[in-house]
Amino acid sequence: MRFVFVIIFSILILALLVCAITAWRSKKSIGVHVSLMLYGLIPPVTGNMIIIASSSETISKLGYYVYFLGMDFMMLMVINFTFRYCGIHGQAAKIRVLVHALMSLDFIQYLLNPFFHHAFDTQPIMVDGRVYHDLISHWGQTYHRVMDYGIFFAMLFIFAYKGIKSPRIYAERYYVILTSMILGGIAETIFIFTDQTVDIAMIVFAVYGFLVFYFSLYYRPMRLLDRMLANIASEMPEALFFFDANNTCIWANEPAIRLANLREGMFEKAAPQLKRIFGSLQQKPGDWKENYVSGEGEKARYFELEQHMIRNKKESVDGYFLSVRDRTEEQNALQKERFLATHDRLTGLYNREYLYEKIRERLKKEPDRNYVVAYIDIKDFKLVNDIFGNEFGDFALKQLANRLRVECSRGTIYGRLVSDTFGICMPEERLDTERFAQIMSRFVVKNDDRSFDLITHMGIYKITDATLDPSVMFDRARMAMSSIKDDYRSFVAIYDDEMRKKVLWERHISTQLDQAIQEKQLVPYLQPIVNASGKIVGAEALVRWIHPEDGFLSPGAFIPVFEKNGMIAQVDQHMWRETCQILARWKEEGRDLFLSVNISPQDFYFMNVESVLCEMVRKYGVETGKLRLEITETVMMTDEEKRIRILDQLREDGFIVEMDDFGSGYSSMNLLKDIHIDVLKIDMAFLKKSENDQKAKTILHSIIHMSDALGITALTEGVESEDQYLTLTGMGCSLFQGYYFSKPVPVEEFEAMVDQA
């Protein structure tokens, strides 16, 4: 029997040694403490083994010393470990100092035992037919036991306390050790108070050591982990489904239960339900991530699916999980945002930027196909707003947008450019201008209480250069449209080479104007104005551009361009200055002639006409009466009251104001009653077509008569024949201008003409 225990103890010692070494090498910080504690268990077990094995008194005694001193060492190590394992720090940990002191005392008293025999003695007894040295304890031994029990109970208390205080899942790591300690304590107690020869408590101690080893270094609270993972999984916004290797759902979180419409616990229904929603996608094996859209239009739902296989160490599949994220809301918000950024709010059509982008895209995609862009403009849309209000204006725009939606076939890109203009891009073969003219050019906008006939004009640019930016393409289309803007009969115009040339020309001369003025390439030509007796009394200054490369340019080549872009103001100021200089020179030379200059309607936008003119005549010392100012009816078309005031002011300053091109407009007569002018320049041109017509003569006669009655001087321009001159004189006209007398000529030539007469 003793032999069996020797073997058991040897095995335990060996096992403890292995564990102690392993623990020492552990990367965990508690490893050292566990290791020391395991080492601490070895001496008492060894001591006991010696006692059992030996028959000699000396060796047995040695065994007892190893046993008791080892016990002290072990207790020390157990304390250290316990504090560590239970996480006791700070003040409480100071108690260790006291324990260490008491233990040291015990250690010392055992070292003194050979001399005083106060702790223990041995007595030989027979066991298994062999001598065994049994222990006889004295008070020193009692001190040792009290000490050990004290510490032991303190440790028990600490583990029990931690066990109670910790969450249930954690408690087990304390209770397991607590239990093994209690068992060890009981076994030891039995050994002490009964006549046992072998301390079987040593075996329990060793088991305790192994438990500590495991729980400190290897144990992971799986149930805790489970709980945590399950909690996290339930809280996830994604729907999570866990499947085993047989494709059976074993768990699903709350969102997943809702998504697959599972009743609690009916997880196995998940697979068929998912198949119903996601079709075959659900059965796709392996790791993947995919987007899925179910339904269409407003009912569309957007999902993001992700599947991951769970493999074990042998690389075979244990199961897998599927996460499904419902991104519908996100997607809708995104789409709404994108829609707002790319569409016009009022009409819902593409906005300009997006239209351009779409066109660029298309042209790039189909480089071999011919496309056209069309620019649509509503005629007098401002009028619609002014008369019917903005609300009706908006309504009209929406109606037009709807018309576009209906008429534009698939593959046609269209959108709203800005305010009342729309843009279209389509393959050239689909362009049917006649049809367009029919359906788009005129349509009735009608709401509950009013209706209005909208007229639209369309300009078309056939894309010959696809590298141009759509803005330039629409510019060209717009240009084509402008060419028919005021035409009531044509609705569609196509940008062509002539227009292109025109644009280039416009750019060409516009960039050169400043320099031309500086270098006096712009010169006044004078066309004589004669009185009824044929005497030259003055002249009209008409601009000519002596261009260094393009040669002689008459106003028709550049005046309309500058009237359009506003640069006419520079031309006019230059002409006024030149004219003033001539008048100043004439004054010195004693020539009593007047000069008339043209004032463009645009001038009023770009300068204070009145102060500029006053400043000029003052500067050159010219009499205001010698500078006549020609304005046209169009000047009065905007800001009429303000313009009337300006004209009155100019007349007060002494300028003579002439109404130019009278008769070419349509409100001429009406205008005369509101404004004050000195001279009426009647354009013969409008009568030319019906020269022999008696009616024309009657009209001319009445105009001259009327101006006479109003105290306004009549001047006829465009007089080309003696016959005309005589007739007009007969009618009472007092001033004349026209080729019959002279064309506009350079100043010197004009002066020579005057001198000859």
Nearer residue to ligand C2E within complex by CB, 423 or 538: 538
Whichever of 476 and 574 has its CB closer to ligand C2E, that residue is 574
From 344, 630, 633, 751, residue interacting with Ca ion (rule: CB under 5 A): 630
**Stretch (H or E) spanning 196:** none
* DSSP-assigned letters across all residues of 508-557: HHHHHHHHHHHTT-EEEEEEEEEETTS-EEEEEEEEEEEETTTEEE-GGG
**Residue 483 or 600: which CB sits closer to Ca ion?**
600
Unique residue bearing structure tokens 């050591």: 209
Among 356, 661, 682, 728, binds Ca ion (CB under 5 A): 661
Shortest spacing between CB 752 and ligand C2E, in angstroms: 19
Partner that binds at residue 265, options Ca ion, ligand C2E, none, CB closer than 5 to 8 Å by kind: none
- Residue 148 vs 660, nearer CB to Ca ion: 660
Reference 292, options 239, 251, 247; nearest CA is 239
Question: Applying CB under 6 A, does 720 fall inside the site for ligand C2E?
Answer: yes
Strand partners, 319: 244, 310
Specify which residues 244 forms β-bridges with.
319
Report d(CA 53, CA 56) in Å as an integer. 9
744 binds, among ligand C2E, Ca ion, none (CB under 5 to 8 A by kind): ligand C2E
Here's the x/- map for Ca ion, 590-629, by CB under 5 A: it reads as --------x-------------------------------
C-alpha to C-alpha distance for 84 and 103, rounded to whole angstroms: 19
Interacting positions 554-573 with ligand C2E (CB under 6 A): 554-556, 559, 568, 571-572
Near ligand C2E in 647-666, by CB under 6 A: 660-661
**Tokens coding 296:** 């269409």
- CB closer to Ca ion out of 190 and 685: 685
Could you tell me the smallest distance in angstroms from the CB atom of residue 523 to ligand C2E?
Answer: 10
By CB under 5 A, the count of residues binding Ca ion is 4
For 664-719, the DSSP string reads SSSSHHHHHTTS--SEEEEETHHHHTTTT-HHHHHHHHHHHHHHHHHT-EEEEE--
Q: Decide the pairing of beta strands 371-378 and 317-326.
A: unpaired
Determine the Cα angle at 158 with ends 152 and 159, to 5°: 90
52 scored as a contact of ligand C2E (CB under 6 A): no
Lookup: tokens for 636:
């009065």
The answer to whether residue 718 forms part of the interface with ligand C2E (CB under 6 A) is yes
Pairing of strands 713-717, 735-737: parallel
Locus of tokens 């004032």: 599
- Residue 537 neighbours by CB distance under 10 Å: 16
658 contacts Ca ion (rule: CB under 5 A): no
Looking at the DSSP bridge assignments, the partners of residue 310 are 319
**In whole angstroms, how close is the CB of 553 to ligand C2E at the nearest point?**
10
Segment 513-552, which members bind ligand C2E (CB under 6 A)? 527, 542-543
For residue 650, give the nearest of 637, 669, 635 by alpha carbon: 635
Instruction: Choose the binding region for Ca ion from 6-14, 65-73, 235-243, 630-638 (rule: CB under 5 A).
Output: 630-638
Which is closer to Ca ion, CB of 254 or CB of 683?
Answer: 683
Q: Pick between residue 103 and residue 719 the one whose CB is nearest to ligand C2E.
A: 719
* Comparison of 35 and 742: residue with beta carbon closer to Ca ion: 742
Q: Which residues bind ligand C2E (CB under 6 A)?
A: 527, 542-543, 554-556, 559, 568, 571-572, 575, 598, 600, 660-661, 717-720, 738-739, 744
Residues near Ca ion (CB under 5 A) are 598, 630, 660-661
